[in-house]
Structure 1
Amino acid sequence: MKNFILIISSVYDFSTDLVVQRLEHNGDNYIRLNKEQLCDYEIFLDPVNATLMVKGEHVDVEISKIKSVWFRQPVFLRNTPGRSININEQLSLSQWNAFLRGLMVFNESYWMNWPQATYAAESKPYQLITAKNIGFSVPQTIISNSLGFDRLHSSKFIIKSIDTVLLKENDDCYFTYTSKANPEDFSLERTRQSPITFQKYIEDKLDVRVTVIDSKVYAVAIKSPSLSA
């Protein structure tokens, strides 16, 4: 039986499209399952014997040897639809979410975004306490559904979401970004609706994005304008 690469992604993930093109060029065996289209397939997972069968959309394979799993955008319920979700859809989303986590039965495969570790790493509060515990300097941070900036020892602060936000309304998508803010932008009535991350503003920031694969470390620095000058 052939070794396969399993890709769990999204129909809107164009980065995955580029990777798939390279896999096809290399002649690699792969299966791409887009989370929005899971219901278009017949999928059978045998967790005891660690086999996966996928049928539909020009795919008909049974896999027991998965070389690697690329789990893109692993937080399944992050995308908020632009309409109300009925009970059946809520049930479907929750069970597909659990199913994708269940692919951890392929624990001898090489994973990018192992679910157990990813769900912990996705938590920004957990990121901060972990960074502090291993010796990094971290900015003062308050997460609150009140006027959290009052507890910061600085008049300059930024706000950000606790988790990545992607909102959908009809055919439009909306994102949130880290933004500088002022106290007059907030009222207790508005902030009580949901918690916000308030964080001391860092001047002349050097943002380093690091990807670790086995023993190899790939780092990219994003400099603020003043540091780039």
Structure 2
Amino acid sequence: MAADRPVLILTCADDPTSDVVVNELNNRDVPLFRCDPADVLAGGLEVSARFGEDGMRGYLRTEARSLDLAAVRSVFYRRPSSYAAPTAMSEQDGRFAKEQAKHGMAGIMASIRGRWVNHLWRAMEAEFKPSQLTVAREVGFTVPPTLITNSPQDAGEFAKAHGPIIYKPLQNTNLVGPDDNAAAVWVDEVTPDELDDSIRLTLHLFQRQVEKSADVRVTVIGNQVFSVRIESPYIDWRRDYDQLSYAVLDTPDHIARACRRYLDRFGLLFGAFDFGIAHDGSWVWYECNTGGQWYWLELETGLPMTAALADLLEIRS
């Protein structure tokens, strides 16, 4: 019976957002199985999958419980750890083991049938900023002029044509500061004198700065859309959460429709969209994070996002 089929939650051990979803599903008596795929390298996860005429059959097993891969109701793909080889291995053996585990686990997980929030292949495709920019324009969002380049000359010409401009990373990277604590590269304004030959060393994303009155985070969970206005003194509001203020907004119909078209294009059921509200009131699209945070907004505003996500995983109509 469908009621007996578990929800599979794929994430790291330290993921408070998944914790609240687990609690909600437990309160609904929905069976679930939580694991971190990367634990297959540390001996914390046993995996076996057979492939034949009847498709894939197999199991995941931890010390506490087992999961029948053919019985999964839905999958919540959140934030699994990166694969890391056991320290006892040599560098070469460790590299081999890591690649075998990564490709084997990804293929097995991706073969699980059921509703995904979001499917790892679809989420992977939607991580790339150039793909996001292309689809955002096609579905009707207002997108700032953007340049991805390693040419100092093109960057300088872009700044002259569209300045002031900002820089934003093409992908978040785990960085460490001088104090050995986690470091971040924030979205920030770039001045013309910073556009030097060091640009040639890698690719950079430059964008016309939006003259904004506020930011908006739009979280789409299935058919439900939650919009929160965020006031911040910074270009990148993530710099200091203590200085943020929040207000629930009604999502304009054309924005909600465009968000759904965007997710449909990538085959996604969840998306955390970021917008800026320009001084003329228009909404300017920044990006969409397929695994974006949302629970802190529920705490700040009372919006029922945990329930919406649990509904999606429980597969309520």
TM tier relative to shorter chain = 0.7 to 0.9
**Compared CA separation, residues 38 and 89, structure 1 to 2 (3 A):** same
The aligned residue for residue 136 of structure 1 is 141
1:64-106 deviation per Cα after TM superposition (whole angstroms, max 9, x unaligned)? 21111011137957x9xxxxx9333333333333322432222
SS in 1 for 2:201: coil
Q: Do the aligned residues in 2 keep the contact of 1:205 with 1:224 (CA within 8 Å)?
A: no
Bigger fraction of residues in helix: 2
The structural deviation recorded for 1:16 is: 1.4
CA distance in 2, matches of 1:180, 1:136: 22
**Compared CA separation, residues 35 and 116, structure 1 to 2 (3 A):** closer
**Compared CA separation, residues 23 and 52, structure 1 to 2 (3 A):** farther
Q: Do the aligned residues in 2 keep the contact of 1:157 with 1:200 (CA within 8 Å)?
A: yes
Q: Do the aligned residues in 1 keep the contact of 2:148 with 2:203 (CA within 8 Å)?
A: yes
Structure 1 runs (4+) deviating above 4 angstroms are 74-77, 168-171, 223-228
SS in 2 for 1:24: helix
The structural deviation recorded for 1:218 is: 3.0
CA distance in 1, matches of 2:38, 2:121: 22
The structural deviation recorded for 1:222 is: 3.2
The structural deviation recorded for 1:205 is: 5.6
**Compared CA separation, residues 60 and 73, structure 1 to 2 (3 A):** closer
Aligned pair partner of 1:185 in 174, 194, 216: 194
The aligned residue for residue 11 of structure 2 is 9
CA distance in 1, matches of 2:48, 2:149: 43
Aligned pair partner of 1:172 in 175, 181, 187: 181
Aligned pair partner of 1:124 in 126, 129, 134: 129
Q: Do the aligned residues in 1 keep the contact of 2:49 with 2:59 (CA within 8 Å)?
A: yes
The aligned residue for residue 87 of structure 1 is 92
The within-5 A match list for 1:1-229 is 2-39=4-41, 40-48=44-52, 49-73=55-79, 86-98=91-103, 99-107=105-113, 109-147=114-152, 148-152=154-158, 153-168=161-176, 172-188=181-197, 190-204=198-212, 206-223=214-231
Normalising by structure 1, report the TM-score: 0.80
SS in 2 for 1:64: helix
Q: Which amino acid counterpart does residue 183 of structure 1 have in structure 2?
A: P
**Compared CA separation, residues 223 and 128, structure 1 to 2 (3 A):** farther
SS in 1 for 2:108: helix
Higher relative contact order (CA 8 A, sep 6+): 2
Q: What is the root-mean-square deviation of aligned Cα atoms in Å?
A: 3.2
CA distance in 2, matches of 1:186, 1:221: 33
Q: Which amino acid counterpart does residue 194 of structure 2 have in structure 1?
A: D
The structural deviation recorded for 1:25 is: 3.2
CA distance in 1, matches of 2:81, 2:157: 31
Bigger fraction of residues in strand: 1
SS in 1 for 2:101: helix
- Number of residue pairs the alignment of both structures matches: 221
Q: Which amino acid counterpart does residue 15 of structure 1 have in structure 2?
A: T
**Compared CA separation, residues 217 and 183, structure 1 to 2 (3 A):** same
CA distance in 2, matches of 1:76, 1:37: 10
CA distance in 1, matches of 2:38, 2:112: 22
Tell me the percent identity: 25
The structural deviation recorded for 1:144 is: 1.6
Q: Which amino acid counterpart does residue 14 of structure 2 have in structure 1?
A: Y
